[in-house]
């Protein structure tokens, strides 16, 4: 972990929320380029375990989202590009796996030292 602040559940939840909203956005192509760069920053922060960078990128992504007023003469708005959507989806799954890791590790430990019988049912 390179950042001084670990990634907590709140930071993960906030990032997942804004990434989930992204699929409904319609932005100018130049704004989508910025969104894509921020999604890459989010992935880098997650990979490095940097909670502060994850929060900063999440806030930046929220601010880059659609605004109510569009200027006259602006480029037409388009839905999320496929590349950005794929990156966001992968990141949502990666963020979710981080939350699931701890309960799964605890579930794999039984009191007698044995796990299940590999068919999904507990050992008995």
pLDDT tens profile 3-12: 578 999 999 9
CA distance 42 to 15: 8
Q: What is the pLDDT of residue 110?
A: 36
- Candidate from 35-39, 73-77, 84-88, 120-124 with smallest mean pLDDT: 120-124
Q: What is the pLDDT of residue 76?
A: 85
Please name the helix (run of DSSP H) or strand (run of DSSP E) that holds residue 13, with its range, or none.
helix 9-21
Rounded mean pLDDT, 55-82: 85
Rounded to the nearest integer, the mean pLDDT of the chain is 80
pLDDT band, very low/low/confident/very high, at 69 (cuts 50, 70, 90)? low
pLDDT digits (tens, 9 = 90+) for 18-64: 999 999 999 999 999 999 999 999 999 999 999 999 999 999 999 99
Q: Are 20 and 39 in contact (CB under 8 A)?
A: no
CA distance 33 to 65: 12
Q: What is the pLDDT of residue 38?
A: 98
Q: What is the pLDDT of residue 120?
A: 52
Percent of the chain with pLDDT over 70: 69
| Helix, strand or coil, per DSSP, at residue 78 | strand
């Amino acid at each position: 972990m390179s950042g001084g602040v670990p990634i907590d559940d709140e930071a993960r939840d906030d990032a997942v929320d804004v990434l989930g909203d992204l699929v409904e956005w319609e932005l100018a192509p130049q704004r989508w380029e910025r969104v894509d760069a921020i999604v890459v920053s989010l992935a880098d922060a997650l990979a490095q375990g940097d909670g502060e960078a994850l929060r900063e990128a999440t806030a930046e992504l929220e601010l880059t989202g659609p605004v109510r007023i569009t200027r006259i003469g602006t480029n037409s708005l388009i839905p999320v590009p496929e590349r950005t959507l794929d990156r966001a989806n992968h990141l949502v799954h990666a963020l979710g796996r981080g939350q699931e890791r701890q309960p799964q590790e605890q579930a794999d430990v039984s009191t007698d030292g044995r796990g299940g019988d590999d068919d999904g049912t507990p050992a008995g």
